Amino acid sequence: MDFINSHILTLMTFLPVAGGAIILMMPSGRDNHIKTIAAVASFLPVLLAVQLWFLYDRTVAGVNVASQFQFVEHYTWIPSINVEYFMGADGISMPMIMLTTIVSFLAVVGSWGIEKQIKGYMTLILLLETGMMGVFASLDFFLFYVFWEVMLLPMYFLIGIWGGPRREYAAIKFFLYTLLGSVLMLLVMLALYFNTTNPETGGHTFNMLHYMQQATHNAWLKGFDIRILMFLGLFIGFAIKVPLFPFHTWLPDAHVEAPTAISVILAGILLKMGTYGLMRISFPIFPDVTKWFVIPMAVLGAINIVYGALCAMAQSDLKKLVAYSSISHMGFCLLGMAALTPAGMIGAAFQMFSHGMITSMLFFLVGVVYDRAHHRDIDGFGGLGAVVPVYTFFITVAFFASLGLPGFSGFIAEAMVFLGSFGVFRTIVMISASGIIIVAAFHLWALQRIFLGPLNPKYAQLEEINAREIFCLAPLALMTLFLGVYPMPVLNLMSASLNHLVDVVKMVI
């Protein structure tokens, strides 16, 4: 038990890929064994996440204080350039780690129906989980970058091999966009490395927490123009991942072509890495530039909210609609973060968590209907409510959660974002608020076209949602509902860190 507790983040990160290795060594054809191993390998991290939940001390902040990180594992990896294996968790990463384990496990279970090359599929999805966990747990920039990139390969193959008709185009577009963002991040990382000194050893360092101590920066790195450039380099890297307008065009393609479970992971976790990166890296390392850049960030957030919603409204493909609604919802995260108020920051982080659950539900649900009807054209259905009542129930819950109905977690998050940011930039928030109406409009309109009205006779025999699919949806729906009524469990988890993050940025002159 001691071993587990002291290496809990490492175990959570590498158990999935270990499962993947076992699968790889199995003879193909034993699909059920492969699925079972994958499920176990992704369920063990969920158990560990529960353990993490109970052990986590909610009173300390972390962010830039090394001593306050929990579950820390700190080893030397490459001594000659001071690369370290440095993992730890604080209130910024905790909710994301939780979310990753849950969504990944559900995605594995949700992939039960995959028939084509299940062995490769499960190996890749487990590798992907390792990459995601690693990103959220790393505190060494080099390690963070390696995990960040490790995700690209499985994602490329998962979209490219198991995706829809235009999968090749979508996969390479995703790959090129993200790689473009990452190489900029790499350059910034190296520039940071050479222009900071580790106060303990006097050498250069990849330790993010050292970068956050402004005293470690040398004269060159203190120049404001340089800092702006470096901030922008990181920002573009993260913005592509979020994705922020105008870097968002890869997302609809990737989402539409990806298989259901991969869309779930993509929207549920991968998008959050962009905003997580801003909170974890950009804000604390460059607090001064962050303050200088808040208005553009808020504007970009508002554009995302309104533009994403308008695009979603124009879609006739249900999956594309959900994809664009993700763009809209991620705009709230940015708006909340830009406000630099505790409420805004916590709202943004809570939105990341809440949207992770809601959008996962939505993509699962889209997958359910696509598996049966083999198309996703909103106008191609009609009156399904009478045929598949259980399915209709779930999708209604998910849609209402997504459009921000009070009682669901999305409402709390968006309300906090607005509360936190209204005092800071009124006009931008008022424009963003109009996005809420559009979001509500396209959700309700889609709901009406698919489930109400006269029944399309083609789908009179449509199969009802099955138990496995409900198994994937129910936990998410319950959590969304529970956190919508009582969000404190998650808010408590992150408030100390996010309050401190706001202070870190605000305090800088």
Partner 1 sequence: MVLGNLASLVYFLPELAVTATILLLVVLHVVLKNRRSPAAALLALLGTGTALLFAWMTPSGAGMGLFEGMVLLDGFAVFFKVLTALATAIVIFMSIDCAELAERTQAEYYIFLLSVLLGMFLLSSASDIVMVYLALELVSIPSYLLAGYFKGKGSSTEASMKYVVYGATASGVMIYGFSLLYGMTGSTQISEIGRVLAMGAAPLPASLAAGMVTVGFGYKIAAVPFHMWSPDVYEGAPTPVTAFLSVGPKAAGFAVLVRFFYTVFASPEDAGGIWKLSSSVDWTFLFSVLSAVTMTVGNLLAVNQKNVKRLLAYSSIAHAGYMLMGFVLLTAVGLKAILFYLVVYLFMNLGAFYVVVLVANGSRSEDISDFSGLGSRAPVAAVSLAIFLFALTGIPPFSGFIGKVYLFAEVINRGVYWLALVAALNSVISLYYYARIVKVMFLEDPTQSGELPVAFVPRVMLGILVVPTLLLGIYWEPVIRVAEASVKILTN
Q: Which is nearer to partner 1, 79 or 454 (CB)?
A: 79
User: What is the C-alpha to C-alpha distance for residues 5 and 11, in angstroms, rounded to an integer?
Assistant: 9
Position 186 contacts partner 1 (CB under 8 A): yes
Calculate the CA 70 to chain-centre distance. 22
Residues 6+ apart with CB under 8 A from 166: 253, 256, 257
Query: How many CB atoms lie under 10 A from the CB of residue 316?
Result: 13
3-state secondary structure at position 200: coil
Position 18 contacts partner 1 (CB under 8 A): no
Q: Which stretch binds partner 1 (CB under 8 A): 51-59, 181-189, 319-327, 351-359?
A: 181-189
Contact with partner 1 (CB under 8 A) among 20, 160, 287, 367: 160
Q: What mask, x for binding partner 1 by CB under 8 A, covers residues 39 to 78?
A: --------------------------------------xx
Q: Which stretch binds partner 1 (CB under 8 A): 66-74, 159-167, 384-392, 432-440?
A: 159-167
Position 222 contacts partner 1 (CB under 8 A): no
Contact 364, 473 (CB under 8 A): yes
Encoded amino acid at 497, one letter: S
Position 79 contacts partner 1 (CB under 8 A): yes
Contact with partner 1 (CB under 8 A) among 56, 121, 156, 391: 156
CB of 229 to partner 1, least distance (A): 9
How many angstroms separate the Cα of 285 from the Cα of each of 181, 230, 231, 495? 18, 10, 9, 20
Position 26 contacts partner 1 (CB under 8 A): no
CB of 249 to partner 1, least distance (A): 16
Q: Which is nearer to partner 1, 100 or 123 (CB)?
A: 123
CB of 217 to partner 1, least distance (A): 15
Contact with partner 1 (CB under 8 A) among 149, 288, 464, 503: 149
Which structure tokens are listed for 57? 């001390």
Query: How many CB atoms lie under 10 A from the CB of residue 116?
Result: 9
Which pairs from 426-432 meet CB under 8 Å and 24+ separation?
428/298, 428/299, 428/301, 428/302, 428/335, 429/302, 429/335, 431/302, 431/306, 432/301, 432/302, 432/305, 432/306, 432/331, 432/332, 432/335
Q: Which stretch binds partner 1 (CB under 8 A): 56-64, 177-185, 285-293, 457-465?
A: 177-185
The closest alpha carbon to 367, from 71, 106, 76, 2, belongs to 106
Which pairs from 175-179 meet CB under 8 Å and 24+ separation?
177/240, 177/243, 177/247, 177/249, 177/250, 178/152, 178/240, 178/241, 178/250, 179/152
Q: Which is nearer to partner 1, 174 or 332 (CB)?
A: 174
Position 125 contacts partner 1 (CB under 8 A): no
Contact 213, 198 (CB under 8 A): no
Contact with partner 1 (CB under 8 A) among 21, 26, 40, 187: 187
Position 157 contacts partner 1 (CB under 8 A): yes
Contact with partner 1 (CB under 8 A) among 114, 146, 228, 508: 146
How many angstroms separate the Cα of 465 from the Cα of each of 202, 365, 450, 494? 61, 9, 16, 35
CB of 220 to partner 1, least distance (A): 8
Contact 348, 337 (CB under 8 A): yes
Q: Which is nearer to partner 1, 60 or 191 (CB)?
A: 191
Contact with partner 1 (CB under 8 A) among 35, 167, 272, 320: 167
In the complex, the residues that contact partner 1 under the rule CB under 8 A are 77-81, 145-146, 149-150, 152-153, 156-157, 160-161, 167-168, 171-172, 175-176, 179-180, 183-184, 186-187, 190-191, 193-194
